[in-house]
Amino acid sequence: MLQEHVPDLGKFVEPDRVRREVYVDPRIFELEMQRIHERYWIYCGHESQVPKPGDYYTVQIGRQPMLMVRGRDGKVHVLYNRCPHRGNMMCGDRHGNAGEFFRCSYHAWTFQHDGALRSIPMMESGYAGTRYGKHNPDCSMKKAARVESYRGFVFASLAAEGPTLLEFLGESRIAFDDMCDRAPGGEVEIVPNCFRVVQHSNWKIFLENQLDALHPSVVHQSTGRAAMEVENLIRKQTGQAPLSYHMLSAFAAVTIEKWDGFQTLNYPYGHCILTGYMGLRPKDPDTLAYEKVMQKAYGKQRMEEILGVNIHHVLIYPGLSVQSALQQLRAVRPLGVDRTLTEIWHFRLKGAPEAIYRRSLAYYNLVNSPATLINADDLENFWKCHQGLSSDGGDWVSFGRHFGRDLEKPGRVETGPNMGTSEAPMRNQMKAWARYMRARA
């Protein structure tokens, strides 16, 4: 019924513009959940979130409440957070440990960590001769159709068929390689708590903003200028300023012209990479100590290759934004056509000095926490965009910046020289969106 009432979605996306209904029509949002978020690979969490058997974390995949749980077999499973008896959610807490098994709080059905039925109260007296019992797979908790992990990052797909995780990630897997390789131990572990932000706007507005290289010099300029004034004052008084001030002043120092010197690489599934890592590699004692540990772990040549990776941001469509050099990612969970949850997670580099973790934590708190001026700038614009798109002020959203100048390469589309502020990532995302939405279950 839903599909019959939605017009031909192919007409909603043109190479350089998109109809506003794509962002504000609840019927289209429902189809997105069916055809994108509940079909392709969605990030669930990191294996270090569930280190012990029975440890679980709740996660939303499309409209589906799910559980990521460590089984007694050591494997990470992803299950629907639903008892097969009467539909009660198995776990109401965000995370915890289930103990030896899951137990439904309503009628005490119990399940193994992999979802297999363990016991039903009154199994013999109440269910003898019925279809209900261990012989019936419908009496076990339902599993995600596919679960795969790459370098400790767990993804699930609710569709039985489709590309493998590696096929889906393609070149965007560099986000995880870059983050893990920066650890002397070659692995990262999650910092247990995350920032959770509910944005009153459509999920696609957030994703489009992540690789919009023009907006930082406009939206965040006032914050950058204020930080730069204080930074310069401290430097004048003491001879040097803490590196943390540069984390904010960079938004004023990096001009539109400098952003144009960056480049985006855009891939068929909607993934995008923004090159041009903004971070400095200072020669302070903390950095030198880190380099010493890295050189011991990898050798000098490999260390230089790792620390020289030139990536600012990787977007893995439709629900993940990774800043690998800053040890963080943002997972996107659509809640409604005008409500989006973002989870902002931070990671430790195993084997790296504590000072390096503290430096990245400062960036995490100063730039990406819900309390920062940077985040507030973005959230206001996301809300204003959605409000404007909900009006009758126009039918189209424009993605025309540097349109027609993209460079078609095998397997990807690159922005042209000195066109880093191109809207190519938005065009690429909407091209992928249209392809996903044309597919049928």
Q: What is the pLDDT of residue 255?
A: 85
Q: What's the CA gap between 66 and 60, in Å, rounded? A: 6
What domains appear along the chain, each with residue ranges and CATH number? 42-150 (2.102.10.10), 171-213+262-438 (3.90.380.10)
Q: What is the pLDDT of residue 277?
A: 66
Rg (CA), the chain: 24
Res. 279: pLDDT tops 70: no
Tokens standing for residue 232: 């310069």
How many C-beta atoms surround the C-beta of residue 38 within 10 A?
A: 18
Distance of CA 301 to the CA centre of its chain: 31
Per-residue pLDDT tens for 154-198? 999 999 999 999 999 999 999 999 999 999 999 999 998 899 999
How many C-beta atoms surround the C-beta of residue 370 within 10 A?
A: 13
Res. 273: pLDDT tops 80: yes
CA distances 419 to 207, 289, 354, Å, are 20, 37, 38
Res. 441: pLDDT tops 70: no
Residue pointed to by tokens 């499309």: 62
Tokens standing for residue 51: 């280190």
pTM of the model: 0.94
Q: What's the CA gap between 100 and 98, in Å, rounded? A: 7
Sheet holding 396-398, edge to edge: 13-14, 17-19, 396-398
Per-residue pLDDT tens for 214-269? 998 899 999 989 999 999 999 999 998 888 888 888 888 888 888 898 999 999 99
Q: How confident is the model at residue 371 (pLDDT cuts 50, 70, 90)?
A: confident
